[in-house]
Each structure stands twice: as C-alpha cells, then as structure tokens.
C-alpha cells in the first residue's frame, strides 16, 4: 500500500480538529457530571454548555472522519479500538439526542440517559489510549489568533445550534419539550403507586420485616411504630439521574428530632444495604426521614420502612431502607461525589 503524502496544511488541520475534539470531550464529560451532581441551578447551566459541547463534537465529525479515513489507510495495531471508540461516541450522541428530543426515552429496561452515560464512561479508557497511541504534536503557534477565532466561531455556532434544536423541540411539540431543567421527564407525580423504582447501581430491594427492624439514631433505637407516629410533612421532587422526576407528598420525621442534641459536623445516613450518604449538620431540619408518601406507607421498592427525602438533592441522596443515622466530626464533603455502590 502506498502511503499518501499530506501537505502541511492538512496535517495542521488534522491536529487542530483532534485537539478541539479532545477539549470538547473533556467539557462534555465534566459538565455531564456537574449536571448529575445537582438538582438546582448548576444542573441547568452545565447542561447548556454540555449540549452545545456535544453538538460541537457532532459538527467536527465530518472532518474527523477524513482524518480517520487517512489513519485507517495505514495498516497498524489498534485500529479496532479506534473504531470502537467511534461507535461509543456515536451511541453517546444518538442516545443524548433521543433523550433530549424525547423520541425514545426508554429502550427496554434501560433509559436513553443510562445508555448515554454508559457509553460515555466506556469511551473514557479508549480516549485515553487513543490520544496516547495516536499522538498529536501541539506547537505554540497552535494558539494563534486565527485558531482562537476558529474556536470562538465553533462555540458560537454550537450555542446557536443548541438554541435552535431546543426551539425546534418545543415548537414541534416533541415529547422532549416538557423536560425539567435537569433534563428529566415527569413520572407519576402524586401517584405513589405508579412511581418508578430505581437504584444507583446494583442495590436490590431488601424485604424488611417492620417488627424486627430498628433505626439507630441519636444514641437510641427507634421502632417502626414510633417513627410512623411522627407527622412532619414535605412536598419534594425526587430527580433521578436515570432521567425521570417524581413529586410526592412525603410524611415522616425531620432528622433534627431524631439526632437530638448530638454535636458534630455532619450526619451520615446509612441503608440496611450498606449504601449511605453524608450531609452537613445544618441540613438536619430540612431533611425528612419518610415513612409515608401520598398518605400511605412506603412500599419496599421506595424504601420501606423508612427513606430519606432530600429537597433539592438529586435522587442518589435519597437513601432508602435507612437503618442508621450517625453524627460525627467528618466534614460532609469528605465522601465520594457519587455513590460507589
């Protein structure tokens, strides 16, 4: 096979596209996780950057396919890994668009959002390998005025394209028009019996007998009946990173009542399954340990006997099947940003 000789202009363009892709992949990955970390304003602005970044990647793909074709012309190891990377990036983009337009929000047991994030995570080691194995030489002149202008034009174009697709989704009344600011779809609000059951990763629903169950909190144990006797109420929205949200009337007991006068920096709420999250001590009066939703007892899927309600906290903070609440001097931010279980 004859290697094609490329003019320096084409080489510089190739490097430019590849470097831009790398930056955009970083931005999309980072802002995606910011969006998952919050159920408040940062979720929105990070998703605006995220969506524009994703569309910018899409815009560069025609140029990238020219580079890829050139690379594929040379017989060398690892081309299949590059092709797999291409497939994963395409799946990520397509699933993101399916979720955002609402054209296909569920695919069997998986949501488009789960496919989107799953493919993106799977692509990470391949990107790392790819960048290492197909090294691009970056020169100081790459930061030229012209390249900065190019990057600016790409950013403006991507933002406009994102605004355009959002307007199109709304004007045409696609299902995606009714997403919440986190991108999630409403599901069974105020209909507890129809609320979706979800878990962060692999936690299975435990069957807990209320007679044998005890909650340890504030230096003592509480029985189910004791907890059920409280009637603090809160209307709050559970917003799962899987792509749905559901608002319910929750009832139970404010954590402040359970921990009493215990002193410390943070509160750790632990599930019977071992899953747990830590909260700043100041939040003890806004957090609710719920035994009921919509006036009825929780069911096993939703955390029976008791589950945490975290207003303005993403779903993964809403620990289910709570068995232990501890106060200690570990700062609340001293934990993995996302559950590891």
Ligand X SMILES: Nc1nc2c(c(=O)[nH]1)N[C@H]1C(S)=C(S)[C@@H](COP(=O)(O)O)O[C@H]1N2
* Interface ranges with Mo ion (CB under 5 A): 198, 240-241, 315
What DSSP state is assigned to residue 141? G
| Candidate segments 31-39, 197-205, 257-265, 328-336, binder of ligand X by CB under 6 A | 197-205
Cis peptide, bond prior to residue 305, ω within 30 of zero: yes
For position 198 contacting ligand X by CB under 6 A, the verdict is yes
For position 200 contacting ligand X by CB under 6 A, the verdict is yes
Q: Contacting ligand HEM (CB under 6 A), which of 16, 39, 46, 47?
A: 47
C-alpha to C-alpha distance for 229 and 30, rounded to whole angstroms = 44
Q: How far is CA 177 from the centre of its chain?
A: 20
| Candidate segments 129-137, 142-150, 218-226, 314-322, binder of ligand X by CB under 6 A | 314-322
C-alpha to C-alpha distance for 318 and 340, rounded to whole angstroms = 15
Percent helix, strand, coil in the chain, to 5, is 50, 20, 35
Q: Contacting ligand HEM (CB under 6 A), which of 16, 35, 198, 258?
A: 35
- Please choose which of ligand X, Mo ion, ligand HEM, none residue 271 contacts, taking the beta carbon within 5 to 8 angstroms, the exact cut-off set by kind: ligand X
For position 199 contacting ligand X by CB under 6 A, the verdict is yes
Q: Contacting ligand X (CB under 6 A), which of 273, 283, 286, 335?
A: 273
- Please choose which of ligand HEM, ligand X, Mo ion, none residue 100 contacts, taking the beta carbon within 5 to 8 angstroms, the exact cut-off set by kind: ligand HEM
For position 21 contacting ligand HEM by CB under 6 A, the verdict is yes
Beta-bridge partners for 326 = 268
Residues 229-268 that bind ligand X (CB under 6 A): 238, 240
All residues at 6 or more sequence positions from 326 whose CB lies less than 8 Å from its CB, including other chains: 216, 217, 267, 268, 270
Residue carrying the six token digits 């289910």: 320
Q: Contacting ligand X (CB under 6 A), which of 315, 323, 325, 326?
A: 315
Residue carrying the six token digits 């296909």: 104
Q: Is residue 238 within 8 Å of 301, Cβ to Cβ?
A: no
C-alpha to C-alpha distance for 117 and 119, rounded to whole angstroms = 5
- Please choose which of Mo ion, ligand HEM, ligand X, none residue 199 contacts, taking the beta carbon within 5 to 8 angstroms, the exact cut-off set by kind: ligand X
C-alpha to C-alpha distance for 19 and 150, rounded to whole angstroms = 13
Q: Contacting ligand X (CB under 6 A), which of 29, 275, 279, 304?
A: 275
* Comparison of 52 and 113: residue with beta carbon closer to ligand X: 113
C-alpha to C-alpha distance for 303 and 287, rounded to whole angstroms = 15
Interhelix angle 41-73/145-171, rounded to 10 degrees, is: 120
C-alpha to C-alpha distance for 160 and 266, rounded to whole angstroms = 43
Q: Which residues bind ligand X (CB under 6 A)?
A: 195-200, 203, 238, 240, 271, 273, 275, 301-303, 315-316, 318-321
Q: Which residues bind ligand HEM (CB under 6 A)?
A: 18-19, 21-22, 25, 28-29, 32-33, 35-36, 47, 50-51, 54-55, 57, 67-68, 70-72, 74, 78-79, 82-83, 85-86, 89, 92-93, 96-97, 99-100, 116-117, 120, 130-131, 134, 136, 162, 165, 179, 183
């Amino acid at each position: 096979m004859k290697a094609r000789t490329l003019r320096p202009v084409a080489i510089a363009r190739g490097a430019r596209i590849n470097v831009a892709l790398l930056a955009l992949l970083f931005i999309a990955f980072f802002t995606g996780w910011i969006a998952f970390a919050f159920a408040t304003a940062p979720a929105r602005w990070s998703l605006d950057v995220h969506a524009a970044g994703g569309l910018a990647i899409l815009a560069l793909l025609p140029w990238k396919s020219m580079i890829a074709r050139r690379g594929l012309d040379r017989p060398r190891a690892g081309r299949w890994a590059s092709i797999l990377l291409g497939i994963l990036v395409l799946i990520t983009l397509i699933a993101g668009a399916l979720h955002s337009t609402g054209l296909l929000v569920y695919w069997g047991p998986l949501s488009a959002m789960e496919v989107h994030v799953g493919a993106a995570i799977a692509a990470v080691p391949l990107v790392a390998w790819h960048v290492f194995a197909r090294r691009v030489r970056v020169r100081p002149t790459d930061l030229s005025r012209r390249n900065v202008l190019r990057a600016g034009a790409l950013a403006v174009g991507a933002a406009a394209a994102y605004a355009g697709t959002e307007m199109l989704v709304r004007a045409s009344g696609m299902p995606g028009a009714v997403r919440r600011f986190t991108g999630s779809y409403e599901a069974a609000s105020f209909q507890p019996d129809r609320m979706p059951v979800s878990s962060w990763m692999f936690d299975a629903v435990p069957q807990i007998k209320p007679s044998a169950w005890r909650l340890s909190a504030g230096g003592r144990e509480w029985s189910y009946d004791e907890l059920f006797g409280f009637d603090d109420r809160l209307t709050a929205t559970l917003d799962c990173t899987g792509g749905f949200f559901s608002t319910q009337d929750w009832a139970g007991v404010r954590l402040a009542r359970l921990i009493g006068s215990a002193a410390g920096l943070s509160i750790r709420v632990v599930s019977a399954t071992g899953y747990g999250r830590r909260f700043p001590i100041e939040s003890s009066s806004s957090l609710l340990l719920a035994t009921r939703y919509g006036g009825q007892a929780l069911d096993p899927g939703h955390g029976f006997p008791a589950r945490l309600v975290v207003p303005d906290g993403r779903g993964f903070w809403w620990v289910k099947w709570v068995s232990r609440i501890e106060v200690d001097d570990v700062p609340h931010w001293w934990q993995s940003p996302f559950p590891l279980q």
